[in-house]
Copies of this chain bind each other. A is one copy, B any other.
Amino acid sequence: MGETIGFIGLGNMGQEMALRLVEAGWPVRVWNRTKEKATELVKRGATLVERPEEAVEPGGIAISMLADDAALLEIFAADGPVVKRLGAGGLHVSMSTIHPDTSRRLAKEHAEHGASYLGAPVFGRPNAARAGMLWFAVSGRPEDRLRARPIFEAMGRETFEFGDDPGAANVAKLCGNFLIAAAVEAMAEAAALAEKSGVGAAGMLEMLGKTLFACPVYQGYGQLVVKRKFEPAAFRMRLGLKDVELAISAARAVGVPLPFADIARNRALAGINKGRGDWDWSAVSLGAAEDAGVV
């Protein structure tokens, strides 16, 4: 735990994740476009730097948790200062939800400077991050996965390995997000059927959430679908749309149709057109409810 870690990206998730590392005793240098996000971290012992390249040590470890592919590609540009400074022996553990081809491209570009790249997207929300209860999907070179293990252990409860292809873990992550979106649409349709039939949707989803679907996605989203309280958003519809579109795009790159994802995407587009882009993702369920005439 002596090794300094450069942590790039302090959104709701990034702040909590970086804090876990500080608390586990790592020296952590953080960078974020908006400095204010670092206040709590600095108080706890992290060092705030001015430019992302100052966060990383030559041959050291960089962690990124950024909003999208564009932000990641900008900061970790092929011949940019961050990758150059990381250099030989450096390792970039990339935790954002991105397109698998972005990981593959970065891995190649990093390699030209002697640096390694791990695809390591994360499942969980900020409160899970705070509790160190995240799950990681990880892929890349075996020795890099080994090296990063203590980091995953500090932040998460379990790590799932997906082999050497640095984009593989991103594929698995996008599959997970797509399955969530599909589950929400399915529950929204079932809830509309129950409600319009005079059967409580709450009771129906509660029963299923205790039996066949006794798992976090159905229990958590089931409640959100039924209660129709979509603000404040735990995960905004706009971001959910981004993730569903990433899945469609990754599927397109290998020629795979995803008809359920198309429907989920259309629900989100319609929801955003109705002014719900900053509501919680679960508000896509209003589409099914409106078509059914129950709202």
Contacts and interface: CB of A to CB of B under 8 A. Distances in A.
Contacts of A34: none
18 contacts: A123-B212, A162-B203, A162-B204, A171-B199, A171-B204, A172-B203, A176-B212, A178-B186, A178-B189, A178-B193, A193-B247, A196-B254, A255-B292, A257-B269, A259-B263, A262-B262, A269-B291, A270-B291
A198 B165 contact: yes
A171 B197 contact: yes
A49 interface: no
A167 B197 contact: yes
A294 to B, nearest CB: 8
Interface string A156-194: 001010110101100110111011101101110110111
Interface centre among A192, A196, A199, A274 (most CB of B within 10 A): A199
Interface stretch (A2-10, A20-28, A55-63, A215-223): A215-223
Contact of A193 (B218, B258, B259, B274): B258
A163 B291 CA distance: 26
A186 B179 contact: yes
Nearest to A261: B189
B207 A216 contact: no
A265 interface: yes
Nearest to A263: B259
Interface string A226-249: 000000000000000000000100
User: Which 10 A-B pairs give the minimum distances between C-beta atoms?
Assistant: A273-B293, A215-B215, A257-B266, A182-B186, A270-B291, A262-B262, A175-B190, A160-B207, A256-B292, A196-B254
Given A257-B265, A292-B273, A210 B158 contact: yes
A116 to B, nearest CB: 20
Contacts of A211: 123, 135, 158, 216
Nearest to A289: B256
Contacts of A208: 175-176, 179
Contacts of A260: 182, 185-186, 189, 260, 263
A290 interface: yes
A100 interface: yes
A81 interface: no
A77 interface: no
A155 B276 CA distance: 46
A180 B212 contact: yes
Contacts of A176: 204, 207-208, 212
